[in-house]
Chain A
Amino acid sequence: MLLVRAASLAVEPLGESWVFFSPLSGETHLINDTSAAMLECLDASRPTAADSVYLEIAGLTGSTPAEVARMCSGYWSSLVEAGAVRVMLAQPPIPSEPA
């Protein structure tokens, strides 16, 4: 799965945790360190594979990529729905034909 950070996403530290605002969705969410790290590993202009994110976080935390994957993979869909992350399709969509 290829992921892109939403353009103009504002991620800010807030005491012991983090908060983000997505201009895309208009939503504001308080997030934990894990989610903040996941966002940090993504770029707005260049797609990143989910596996690279797990690898990078594993390197920072001393866990294995598999452990990180187990912990993180469930969060992506919430981040997409909240407008923080966009999923790049592997193939372009089928062009629609008139009925």
Chain B
Amino acid sequence: MSFKRPPSLFWLDALRNPALAAGWGLPEWSQAIRLGRRLRLLGRLAEALAAAGQMQAVPAQPQRLLRAEMQSSRARTAALVWALDRAGAALTGAPYPLVLLKGAAYIGQPGLPFGRGRLSADVDILVPQAHIDDAQARLTSAGWQGVQLDGHDDRYYREWSHEVPPMRHPSHPIELDLHHTIVPPVSRNPVDAALLLQRLQPSQWPAWQVLHPVDQVLHSAAHLFFDSDLRERVRDLADLDGLLRHFGRDPDFWQALPQRARQLGLQQPLALAVHFCVGWFGTPMPANTLATIHRAGPGLLHRAWLLPLLAGQLTPSPLDGLPSPAQNLGAHLVMARYQVWRLPLRMLIPHVQHKWQARKARMAPGTD
């Protein structure tokens, strides 16, 4: 039932079992490093090798590049941690929870091994919708500034989407993305953020909390499979595999996962996530949980075209070529599905119309 992993991704197994890399020659290392870098998994591979004491055994040429990548990802992670420190200071005393999402949450839970080696450019933060203006105001007075958007896009972000425009600070290379829910509220499958906020967990930093483990998995699955561009987002699958392996050590987790997916209306993305995690990463999970999740996922007819489409998108294009026309076409199909899913039709037309007009204006002669 599961799709086989593309051969070019053989090296993914070394993420969870670094000793496997001991058998690689230079051609395998070249593939792993070049593709790993493009898929933003190189830092994680390097950290996994280092943590397992396998780095010294890596041949000299790939070893240099692995060490160089670790340097980059550690510097980037330190910058992220510092940005969170300053943003947290700006939000001190706010009478509402401050929740880290995705990468920032993984870094904020030191027990998660795959949190190391990330190259993040932004931090995703969730606050309750009622308080989002207050959070923005506090950040603004500490020097964070919203990226300039025109009126329509700004409204799109605030009312229609789950994000406000990203915020930047002159002292930090990291962008802050403020959310009030985990999927767009005007979508066909809205998620009630209040349910998420009831089950928050501490992070390693007093100012910040994270979602419940089951909700972290569901958010990651929704973020990947409800998003517009799945091209090569193997890292998101690797994150999901990491989350499932880590939190899956607790047997209660497997009970709770399908139940919570039903409660939040996220059964489809969970089924898709599990399909690819098992197929490409060999993620272990109890057979009955797997069956329950599959039953609640897309129907057989839907599956027949959806799974190959998604697999094609997720599969990396060859290293010595460029993205194939088929992959580009597939990306457009997924983009269409995403827009339909995200916005009710009446809102979709003005939004698409607006984006097209903006692009036309930018392309007019006399502009850059």
Q: Is A93 an interface residue (CB 8 A)?
A: yes
Closest residue on chain B to residue A22 by CB atoms: B82
Question: Which chain A positions have C-beta within 8 A of B78?
Answer: 23, 26
Residues of chain A within 8 A of B79, CB atoms compared: 26
Which residues on the B side are within 8 Å of A26 (C-beta)? Answer: 75, 78-79, 82
How many of chain B's residues have a CB under 8 angstroms from any CB in A? 23
Known: A26-B78, A99-B128, A99-B130. A94 touches B197 (CB 8 A): no
The minimal Cβ–Cβ distance linking A35 to chain B, given in whole angstroms, is 17
Chain B interface mostly: loop
The answer to whether A24 touches B95 (Cβ under 8 A) is: no
Docked Cα-Cα span, A97 to B75, in Å, equals 33
Give the chain A neighbours of B207 by CB distance below 8 A. 93
A94 pairs with B85, CB closer than 8 A: no
List the A residue with the shortest CB-CB distance to B207.
Answer: A93
Chain A contacts for B171, CB-based, 8 A: 25, 81
> Is the Cβ of A97 less than 8 Å from the Cβ of B82?
no
> Does the CB pair A98–B198 fall under 8 Å?
yes
Q: Which residue of A lies closest to B180 (CB)?
A: A99
Q: Which residues of B contact A99 (CB under 8 A)?
A: 96-97, 128, 130-131, 194, 197
- What chain A residues lie within 8 Å of B82 (beta carbons)? 24-26, 83
Is A61 among interface residues, defined by CB-CB distance under 8 A?
A: no
Taken together as a complex, chains A and B put the C-alpha atoms of A55 and B79 apart, in Å, by: 35
In contact, B130 and A96 (Cβ under 8 angstroms): no
Interface of A is mostly: loop
**Complex alpha-carbon distance, A96 and B85, angstroms:** 17
Chain A window 59-99, contacts with chain B (Cβ cutoff 8 Å), 1 for yes, 0 for no: 00000000000000000000001010000010001101111
Q: For the A-B complex with A23-B78, A83-B82, A99-B130 known, give 19 more contacts whose Cβ atoms are closer than 8 Å.
A: A24-B82, A24-B85, A25-B82, A26-B75, A26-B78, A26-B82, A89-B92, A93-B207, A94-B93, A96-B94, A96-B95, A96-B96, A97-B95, A97-B96, A97-B97, A98-B200, A99-B128, A99-B194, A99-B197
